[in-house]
A and B are shown apart, each in its own frame.
Chain A
Amino acid sequence: MSPRDASPFIRRDGPALEEVETYARLERTWATPPGLWGWLSSVDHKQVGRRYIVTAFVFFLLAGLLALAMRMQLAGPEQTLLTPDRYNQIFTMHGTTMMFLFAVPVMEAFAIYLVPLMVGTRAIAFPRLNAFSYWVYLAGGVMLWVAFILNVGPDVGWFSYVPLAGPQFSPGKRTDFWAQMITFTEVAALAVAVEIIVTVFKQRAPGMSLNRIPLFVWGQLVTSFMVVFAMPAVMVSSSMLIMDRLIGTHFFNPAEGGDALLWQHLFWFFGHPEVYIIFLPATGFVSSILPTFARRPIFGYTALVLALVATGFLGFGLWVHHMFVTGLPHLGNSFYTAASMAIAVPSGIQIFCWLATLWDGRPRFATPLLFVIGFIVIFVLGGLSGIMLASVPIDSQVHDTYFVVAHFHYVLIGGAVFPLFGAVYYWFPKFTGRMLSERAGAWNFGLFFVGFNLAFFPMHILGLIGMPRRVYSYPAGLGWDDLNLLATAGATILAAGVLVFLGNVWHSLKYGLVADDNPWGAATLEWATTSPPPSFNFVHIPVVTGSNPLWEEPDGLPVVGGLRVDQRELLLTSVVDAEPEVREPSPEPSIWPLLSATAVTILFIGSIFTPWAVVWGSIPLAVGLIGWFWPKSAPDTPEPVID
């Protein structure tokens, strides 16, 4: 019997089934149904990841517009473009949106899209949870922005210090919307973290032992663990805040035994790891882009992994450096100085490894590499000013001034947004099948780099000569005028850079060069499939023989077969050595994640207004979850690998 005749009875991929036939059947099994219903019920990690990326960029643009509004207000002394009330809402929304609705979600978005491709599996773990997390994130972000448009935007800063954010000094519902937005986004982030951890630990392609995992995946893995340990702290504190405000608890009321500083401890126990939650994935971008364009395997793989893990641990030990001026005991402060200084060592090691890779490579200056070089130039400066902030005496002068504003923009824009733009240029062909224009890319980089430095470098000096942050206006004659004007000019150039980027994306989506599978000649698995990848990612699960699979196997990767083509099935492997263990079914598309997310949204928004929302809102939520987990008739248990 020839393979063709037997094909209707063959249910697994392998030599018995022709490539074209395998492809068609996998497509039938894994494709998301067409139409609105299909769109709403999709569980494809690439679709969800794309939605996440686009949504996060929309929030980035909105928050950027707010930043421009602030810079206009501060361009000169005593400007009256914005009232203090509006300004306070704007800077709060800018910080909140950038941190909670852009930076963390966009890094997760890249993980959702890329990690399954990079580890060589057909789908992310818990794909329905993934869809659910996107809807929850979208609902939280839309809620916050609708509130802002209705003049109910939070106005107490992105870290909402009590008592200013408490019931007495922040009347109305503004802060409650902020606190619930935290709950929304952290539920979403925790869901994604769990998916990433499981995907990385259990779904790697055979042969991808721990020491062969791409650095991007390592970065996302460490980040996900940090999310799991950090986010609960902020969810607890935002829930405590909303309880103080809504039902009169006294967590932060000193008169009844509460403590205003408790908020700061809980918030920064999350807030400092948050910085690394944003930064570590960005180091993953850098470690992916650099070897490709330096055309050399990354130098110091082990050192980089150890640095990531060390940063992950140390990141939890230095939250108090945000509180050096609150009057905590000096001995304690000294400990946190040491911890904050110590984190310079792993960061320094990373910088060295990247420089060494570039040093020993033969770099090709495409746009992604430009952004990585911009990243090194800017991030190192931000890191060095961070060393200043780690010193208690210096921090006592520059804390809460524009020096800090400059520092964290150097660290976050330099350390995360530059690599992110590089990543977009790098993976755009994989996402869309088209290349972004290199020429526009160079302009984008140039404007962005120059504008950024013009906008933020003067702020270092402004802080040192006394300008506190979060002021809606400042008096003339303190020597702040010219530097502020310069910063505003820089912000405008920065905005022009973003416009070029948008134009580039728009134009390239329509007219860009069609990309082949591996346009940059990169080494990791996501380039082993088509651009854009099919719904099932890989026709056959690849087998990995080294850290740079596509470079080490230039003639094509070895593959394994044996996964079902008529049902969604994944290959699970062992945690350390990635030995095949079992075949695991993967869920079909479902509308229940969207319905459950809607129920969660009703519950969360309702509980801004009445505690009873938690009781009544749990009913639709229970319905949603029951529907989601209703037992299926299809076999749903893992099966052993057939040898």
Chain B
Amino acid sequence: MSSPCRRSVSLAVLAVLALAACDREEREPRGAPVGESGPQAIAQGSLYAGEPSPPDPRRQEYEGNAYHLAQGKQLYVWFNCNGCHSNGGGDIGPPLMDDTWIYGDSLENIFATIVQGRPNGMPSFRNKIPETQIWEIAAYVRSMSGQTPTAASPGRNDSLNAKPAEQRAPKAEPKQSNPGGPQVEGRQ
């Protein structure tokens, strides 16, 4: 019971939504295939020979996906990331919800930071956390400063909420990161 005009409108809307929705709502509990170790294209500097390497395809898979972001949020607490970084505001470790990224702001950089550890306290979680889960945590870390699509970012938790949920976090434009090391004042 739908006129041709209405049908074509809904088809158009459907086509537009399809692009945005499918990735966001996928629930792939397995994550990326196992066996590939380590990100291949972590940018350590801002100078490239030739064209810069394309971003890791997993950026799309994890960052725009609501399920992975929610899992990352859960793991962030389970693996005690909040022990040092608090709810993103920082404590012993640097804050994760601001615009300053000591070791780079891309998903691959954060992944590498978690896997390799960083000087002055960030432990290496190599072999301690399966890769898929590290991608999830890294994607969640980016959602804290509003780097992920709002429609995919986590909402509030069923607990005491000290700050607005990630989906309402103001987007912090990352400052030029300094992949060489911690040279930003006051950041250890």
Which residues of A line the B interface, CB within 8 A? 36, 39-40, 51, 54-55, 58, 85, 138, 142, 146-147, 149-152, 163, 166-169, 171-174, 244-248, 250, 252-256, 609-610
Contacts and interface: CB of A to CB of B under 8 A. Distances in A.
Contacts of B164: 248
A408 B186 CA distance: 65
A295 B112 CA distance: 83
Interface string B1-35: 11101000010011001100110111100000000
Given A168-B157, A255-B158, A256-B160, A142 B10 contact: yes
A58 B155 contact: no
Contacts of B146: none
Nearest to B165: A248
B114 interface: no
Contacts of A171: 66-67, 69-70, 152, 154-155
Interface residues of B, number: 34
Contacts of B156: 167-168, 244, 248, 250, 253
B153 to A, nearest CB: 9
9 closest A-B pairs (Cβ-Cβ)?
A167-B155, A172-B66, A171-B70, A171-B66, A248-B156, A150-B21, A255-B159, A152-B25, A54-B1
13 contacts: A51-B1, A85-B27, A142-B10, A166-B158, A168-B70, A169-B70, A171-B67, A171-B69, A172-B66, A244-B156, A248-B156, A250-B156, A609-B151
A256 B25 contact: no
Given A51-B1, A174-B25, A248 B161 contact: yes
A169 B150 CA distance: 17
Given A36-B5, A171-B154, 19 more contacts: A36-B3, A40-B3, A55-B1, A138-B1, A142-B2, A142-B10, A146-B17, A147-B21, A150-B14, A168-B156, A169-B70, A172-B152, A244-B155, A245-B155, A248-B156, A248-B168, A253-B159, A255-B159, A255-B161
Nearest to A255: B159
Interface of B: 1-3, 5, 10, 13-14, 17-18, 21-22, 24-27, 66-67, 69-70, 150-152, 154-161, 164-165, 167-168
A59 B65 CA distance: 30
B3 A39 contact: yes
Contacts of A252: 158
Contacts of A174: 25
Contacts of B2: 138, 142
Contact of B155 (A40, A246, A609): A246
A609 B14 CA distance: 16
A19 B54 CA distance: 81
A173 B1 CA distance: 27
Contacts of B24: 152, 172-173
Contacts of B14: 146, 149-150
Contacts of B10: 142, 146
